[in-house]
Structure 1
Amino acid sequence: MANSYYLKIQTYLLELGFDVQHQDPANNLLVVSKPELGIDHLVLGCGEPLLILEQYLLDLPVPNGAIYQRLLQKNRDIIHGAFVLDESGRKVIFRDTLQLEHLDRPELEAVFNSLALLLSEFSDELIAFSKSGYEDA
């Protein structure tokens, strides 16, 4: 059964014009996209007390210390969220965690805007990472 936070987040997403691609109220999960922001298959988990947002970005062909360093450096510039790696160290994911209790629509929208800005400013480098075309400068 969906919790009240799930329904609130779902409402915010619809108000913000997101395409809800998958809903799992029993597990309080949503998957959404908004192509004009570069957001594709963003997963939102509404598990009290936190909202966890994750978007898979790319696979790294091989582990690469220079890429890991660059991602950590870029994390400093990100307003909301951060780059993270999965357990394999090869999947790069954008992740943010928010407190559900006081979450409002502008705060959630700020996360989406931060992700959209990150994707627009850093897309060329991300593409290079995925092709192992990144050289340590």
Structure 2
Amino acid sequence: MAESYFIKIQRYLLELDFDIQHQDAASNIFVVSKPDLGIEHLVLGCGEPLLILEQHLLDLPGSSVTVYQRLLQKNRDIIHGAFVLDDSGRKVIFRDTLQLEQLDRPELEAVFNSLALLLSEFSDELIAFSKTPSPQQP
């Protein structure tokens, strides 16, 4: 059944004019880009029953309560998906999950549009976060 989801997602990506940079049917993974939307190396994993989408956005040079607080506040404005941190707490990732069984192209496109809008409206602040120095230790 997962293979049919893989083919369905592949078809949607092609219909939406994404550049499929890597695909692995055995692992059910795609890596795609669409530079005009600001989307670069977005990873899609078809892990039944979910489609997981992740794009690494930036590395934080240090931990800052202000930056974390701002990311959480911005999560409230994101239509689809959210900011998350990796296990190290240093990589800021956009992540969304969708149910594969009922997934249609407009729903997937809405996630891409949400990410593109987020990147266009919040990019200056994200760049500033990547340059935020670590707080000084006492």
The normalised TM-score by structure 2 is 0.94
Q: Does the alignment pair 1:27 with 2:27?
A: yes
Which residue number corresponds to residue 130 of structure 1? Answer: 130
RMSD: 1.2
> Aligned partners of 1:44, 1:66: CA distance in 2, in Å?
30
Which residue number corresponds to residue 68 of structure 2? Answer: 68
Number of matched residues? 133
Secondary structure of residue in 2 paired with 1:79? coil
Structure 1 runs (4+) deviating above 6 angstroms are none
Which residue number corresponds to residue 111 of structure 2? Answer: 111
Amino acid at match of 1:80: H
The answer to whether the Cα contact below 8 Å between 1:2 and 1:26 also exists between their aligned partners in 2 is: no
The normalised TM-score by structure 1 is 0.95
Structure 1, residues 88-107: CA drift from partner, whole Å, max 9, x if none? 10000000000000000000
The answer to whether the Cα contact below 8 Å between 1:2 and 1:25 also exists between their aligned partners in 2 is: no
Which residue number corresponds to residue 82 of structure 2? Answer: 82
> Aligned partners of 1:130, 1:10: CA distance in 2, in Å?
33
Structure 1, residues 64-118: CA drift from partner, whole Å, max 9, x if none? 1110000000000000000000001000000000000000000000000000000
Q: Does the alignment pair 1:11 with 2:11?
A: yes
The answer to whether the Cα contact below 8 Å between 2:2 and 2:48 also exists between their aligned partners in 1 is: no
Amino acid at match of 1:53: L
The answer to whether the Cα contact below 8 Å between 2:2 and 2:46 also exists between their aligned partners in 1 is: no
Unpaired runs of at least 5, structure 2: 134-138
> Aligned partners of 2:90, 2:66: CA distance in 1, in Å?
13
Structure 1, residues 23-69: CA drift from partner, whole Å, max 9, x if none? 11100000000000000000000010000000000000001111000
Amino acid at match of 1:71: L
**Shift in Å, 1:2:** 6.0
